Structure 1
Amino acid sequence: IFMDQEYRLNVGASSFKADLLFFHRGLQALVAVELKKTKFHPRDLGQLEFYLEALDRDVKRSNENPSIGIILCPDADKVVVEYAMSRSMSPTMIAEYKRILIPQEQMQQQLREFCQFFLTEDKPKKK
């Protein structure tokens, strides 16, 4: 059982890197996650399916289930996703993510509260 960043896949004379690789105990399957910085494009699915095939042929053990793929992207046109997935036989999911930045003032306040909590807790109590 392993978890790694940029898991190297060697196929033929070429080397490829899956962004993240996990093993799901309950499903008994490898889970490859591709992180995209741009809107979903159908080529992303082709890339992930290639990685899943390489994992199933070269990494997966005989007692494990077929590998699962997840594509995380900041935006996806649902119709494009539907077309791209319509003939795919791979267990793959495409999901959008949202980047949420905490306002600087709020972060500073939380940091002050965190520091204050530990500063008051470490002091010996007077009787």
Structure 2
Amino acid sequence: NFYLEALDRDVKKPNENPSVGVILCASKDDAVVEYALSRSMSPTLVADYRLCLPDKTLLQNKLRELTELALESGERDEDDEE
């Protein structure tokens, strides 16, 4: 929730919908999920859960791509401020 709030306050544009979080879990534990989400003010929906994650290399590549995009965006924002 911290990251979603920061994203919505500092990055989201007025015409965009509120951010949506995705939780990736290594195992299923109903009690942990219930405790973790019980105080959340946002509606929480569980669309699907799988016992296996996508390939680790795929997740690493996507994370690298997102990091590079964020860095490039930050550089462009700095150039705009100058």
TM-score w.r.t. structure 2 length?
0.51
Corresponding residue for residue 17 of structure 2: 65
Which one has the bigger strand percentage? 1
**CA 1:60–1:79 in structure 2 vs 1: closer, same or farther (change >3 Å)?**
same
Query: Which residue identity does 1:71 align to in structure 2?
Result: I
Q: Percent identity?
A: 62
Other-structure match for 2:73: none
Over 4 Å off, 4+ runs: 91-97
Q: Which amino acid in 2 is paired with 1:68?
A: V
CA distance in 2, matches of 1:74, 1:98: 8
1:88 aligns with 2:40: yes
Once superposed, what is the RMSD of the aligned Cα atoms? 2.7
Q: Partner residue of 2:6?
A: 54
User: Is 1:75 matched up with 2:27?
Assistant: yes
C-alpha spacing 1:72/1:100, structure 2 compared with 1 (3 Å)? closer
1:96 positional shift = 4.7
Q: Unpaired segments of 5 or more residues in structure 2?
A: 56-82
1:98 to 46, 49, 52: 52
Q: CA deviation at 1:64?
A: 1.1
Cα 1:91–1:61 change in 2 (3 A) is farther
CA contact (8 A) 1:55 1:67 kept: yes
Give the Cα–Cα distance (whole angstroms) in 2 for the partners of residues 83 and 70 of structure 1.
16
User: Which structure 1 residue ranges, 5 or more long, are not aligned?
Assistant: 1-48, 102-127
State the aligned residue count. 53
Larger helix percent:
2
By relative contact order (CA 8 Å, sep 6+), the higher-ranking structure is 2
Per-residue Cα deviation, 1:78-104 (whole angstroms, up to 9, x for no partner): 111112211112355674541589xxx
TM-score by length of 1: 0.35
